[in-house]
Structure 1
Amino acid sequence: MSAYVVFTRESTEDSAELDTYMNTVAPTFEGHPIKFLALYGKLDKLEGTGPEGIVILEFPSMADAQAWYNSPSYQAVAAHRHKGATYRVTIVEGQSP
């Protein structure tokens, strides 16, 4: 069953660190079955105070999503994201058709 990693950027704290993250994250995707569904597209904030940006990644399963997120290559790059901005990150399982 598909799984989705949802990154919600709440606020930017250090744009240089966030730039480093953005410029180094792509190689962490190699060898992982990722489909990019949303990448900081236009937001229409319908209720409440919305986030600065959202990324949604699709994986074939929770195990695939966790394998990428927990991989040493991603975790090394994620350190820059942690310094650069406040995020909420969630993995959610999809529904079967």
Structure 2
Amino acid sequence: MTAYAIGHLRNVTLNQGIADYLRGIDATLEPFGGNFIIHGGPKDELEGRFTNDLIVISFPNLDAARRWYNSAAYQALIPLRMQGAEGEVFLIDGVDDHHKATDILQGSSFETTVHS
């Protein structure tokens, strides 16, 4: 199942560290099948304000995402990113094409049973 690396970055300053990070990250993704899905950019804000940057990178699965993040090549870039940004980074599994919003209720006290 597709997995994602999500970066929620604040206070991004385009400096030498960020520039070097950007020049190096693509090569770290390729061996693990990683591809940018979202890489900052303008937002059409519909509810609330989101002034930070959002980065989403897809991977074939969670194992590939973990191997990318823990790779020596990517670990070497993290200090460069931190020279010009702060924020959170996490990995998360995607859902399949048949996922419905109510699927997360399964096994919860809010699960409903449909009667015919």
- 8 Å Cα contact 1:17-1:83 kept in structure 2: yes
Higher relative contact order (CA 8 A, sep 6+): 1
Amino acid at match of 2:81: R
The structure with the larger Rg is 2
Query: What is aligned with 2:92?
Result: 92
Query: What is aligned with 2:29?
Result: 29
Cα deviation, residue 30, structure 1: 2.6
| TM-score relative to the length of structure 2 | 0.72
Cα distance in 2 for residues equivalent to 1:13 and 1:54:
14
Cα deviation, residue 44, structure 1: 2.8
Cα distance in 2 for residues equivalent to 1:67 and 1:22:
19
Query: What is aligned with 1:68?
Result: 68
Counterparts in 2 of 1:3 and 1:74: CA distance versus 1, 3 Å: same
Q: Which consecutive unaligned segments of at least 5 residues does structure 2 have? A: 98-116
- 8 Å Cα contact 1:38-1:54 kept in structure 2: yes
| TM-score relative to the length of structure 1 | 0.84
Question: How much identity, in percent, do the aligned residues show?
Answer: 28
Q: Does the alignment pair 1:59 with 2:54? A: no
> What is the count of residue pairs matched by the alignment?
97
Q: Which consecutive unaligned segments of at least 5 residues does structure 1 have? A: none
Amino acid at match of 1:93: D
Cα distance in 1 for residues equivalent to 2:66 and 2:60:
11
- Identify the structure with the greater strand proportion: 1
Cα deviation, residue 14, structure 1: 6.6
Counterparts in 2 of 1:67 and 1:80: CA distance versus 1, 3 Å: same
Counterparts in 2 of 1:21 and 1:41: CA distance versus 1, 3 Å: same
Cα deviation, residue 55, structure 1: 1.2
